Structure 1
Amino acid sequence: MTAPIARLLAPEITLFACASLVHAGLLPFGEPHSRAATAEAIIAVILALGFATGLVRPSLARHAALVAQGLALLGTLVGAFTIAIGIGPQTGGDTIFHVVLVAVLVFGLWLAARSWQR
């Protein structure tokens, strides 16, 4: 796996895992929300599978990163939509967190796509 992609996927996995723990009520920040906790845990696993694929099959690293981050971005946008319509968690922290996640994932997709062209 190319180093820049690995350096980006690892923190993304951590961000989603921590968000899941927060929404599960296991970390003292934010509010518990079981559906958000489940979605964030699934996204963390998807990103981890992309990371692991890149480690095991370096020739698939970029493709795995694009697929994993694309799915993570889709899930994050669904979460942002639920916040916008009032179904998801309604804290300011959740809103800011989703904006940051979208930015990080878009940057990660750009980085993976850019490295694909090399």
Structure 2
Amino acid sequence: MARIATLLALDIALFAGASMVHGGLLPIGELHSRAAIAEGIIAVVLALGLVTALARPSLVRLTALAAQGLALLGTLVGAVMIAIGIGPQTSGDKMFHAVLVAVLVSGLRLAAGIRQR
């Protein structure tokens, strides 16, 4: 439980940070309001997943799979948008999406291995 909670917290921080960058709250990166909104929504979904997992440990596997699965889907949509030329095209954005995919896939693998009681 502690490992998945830590990973969800990392996911939240990554998406919240990306949202702040694209929203102009952090003075790095490129402004992109649509990306900021999507990343903010994903951060909220992950936060709800973390709160649910902590409040209902019996649902940790399902919650972690659902929250990270939705986050991965959103990240892949963002990666496709970058690939077709929509949105920020910086090398930082491309690398960040690759990191997000790797972290989310790792989280999904960890959550999939959780045995429910």
TM-score, structure 2 length as denominator?
0.97
The runs of at least 4 aligned residues of structure 1 exceeding 6 Å deviation read none
Equivalents in 1 of 2:13, 2:74: separation in Å? 16
Equivalents in 2 of 1:56, 1:99: separation in Å? 31
Alignment map for 1:1-118 (pairs within 5 Å):
2-116=1-115
Equivalents in 2 of 1:116, 1:37: separation in Å? 35
1:117, distance to aligned residue in structure 2 (A): 6.9
| Root mean square deviation of aligned Cα | 1.1
Unaligned runs of 5+ in 1: none
Indicate the percent of aligned positions where both proteins have the same amino acid. 72
The size of the alignment, in residue pairs, is: 117
- State the AA in 2 paired with 1:34: S
Q: Could you give the per-residue CA deviations for residues 61-101 of structure 1, whole angstroms, max 9, x where no partner exists?
A: 11100000000000000000000000121111000000000
Equivalents in 1 of 2:63, 2:71: separation in Å? 12
Unaligned runs of 5+ in 2: none
